[in-house]
Copies of this chain bind each other. A is one copy, B any other.
């Protein structure tokens, strides 16, 4: 089977002009079929401040009200997505920017209103494999921002890690799928302040152990849960580390397998 790389980049990478430039060169140079999923960075927060749109919270959880959804759509689907696409085109990569609404590529279910009404937030329930495959078959590289839709006219704010896991899982039958979560650390570290404490390989048993030990905690937990869910859905391997891992062969990151 051919290999498909699904690569997710987060906000901190997007906010760093040098790092994103170097990442886009590496990404454009990948010869295999590939899909990019990007988070949002600081732009939405700074726009909300500049436009006096208060951050709505309930019990410390952010709510996506109408004004916040507008800002996210402008920042993620507009400025960030389109500039990534234009820059990739300039690097010879035929990129196409997408929300889940475009080509009906990802339909989400709005999140339950209980116990917390998160507003316009949804979790993917279907990925349009035929449409995305059509793009890949024609040498087009999909670039997704983490906005999906309900299929009935409403855009929905969606977790970018989840979008990446679900898009990758949807292609597990057609490709040998590799899911990459790029972030600002070398991978899962035993000691968060010591890069040399990198854990190179984690399987499900080790994961349960590291959770009990609290080596894996906080923000890393949802990323890991998405990763193991993807592996259970047939994804071949999940890789967590610095953006440079996508073209590096030194295995200096964390690889998850079942």
A93 to chain B minimum Cβ distance, whole angstroms, is 10
Copies of this chain, how many?
Answer: 2
- Give every chain B residue within 8 A of A140 (Cβ-Cβ): 103, 131
Partner of A82, one of B104, B131, B155: B155
A107: nearest residue on chain B (CB-CB)?
A: B89
- Give every chain B residue within 8 A of A82 (Cβ-Cβ): 73, 77-78, 99, 101-102, 147, 155
Distance A1 CA – B147 CA, assembled complex (angstroms): 38
Q: Does A70 touch B at the CB level, under 8 Å? A: yes
- Give every chain B residue within 8 A of A11 (Cβ-Cβ): none
Range, interface on chain A: 35 or more
- Give every chain B residue within 8 A of A90 (Cβ-Cβ): 151-154
Asked if A154 and B50 make an inter-chain contact with CB atoms under 8 angstroms apart, the answer reads no
Q: Does A95 touch B at the CB level, under 8 Å? A: yes
Partner of A74, one of B75, B134, B147, B149: B75
A94: nearest residue on chain B (CB-CB)?
A: B104
- Interface flags, A24-63, vs B, CB<8A=1, else 0: 0000000000000000000000010011100000000000
Q: Does A229 touch B at the CB level, under 8 Å? A: no
A138: nearest residue on chain B (CB-CB)?
A: B134
- Give every chain B residue within 8 A of A151 (Cβ-Cβ): 89-90
Asked if B99 and A97 make an inter-chain contact with CB atoms under 8 angstroms apart, the answer reads yes
Partner of A149, one of B75, B86, B104, B134: B86
Q: Does A185 touch B at the CB level, under 8 Å? A: no
Q: Does A109 touch B at the CB level, under 8 Å? A: no
Asked if A103 and B94 make an inter-chain contact with CB atoms under 8 angstroms apart, the answer reads yes
Distance A23 CA – B125 CA, assembled complex (angstroms): 30
- Give every chain B residue within 8 A of A70 (Cβ-Cβ): 79
- Give every chain B residue within 8 A of A153 (Cβ-Cβ): 86-87, 89-91
A84: nearest residue on chain B (CB-CB)?
A: B101
Q: Does A243 touch B at the CB level, under 8 Å? A: no
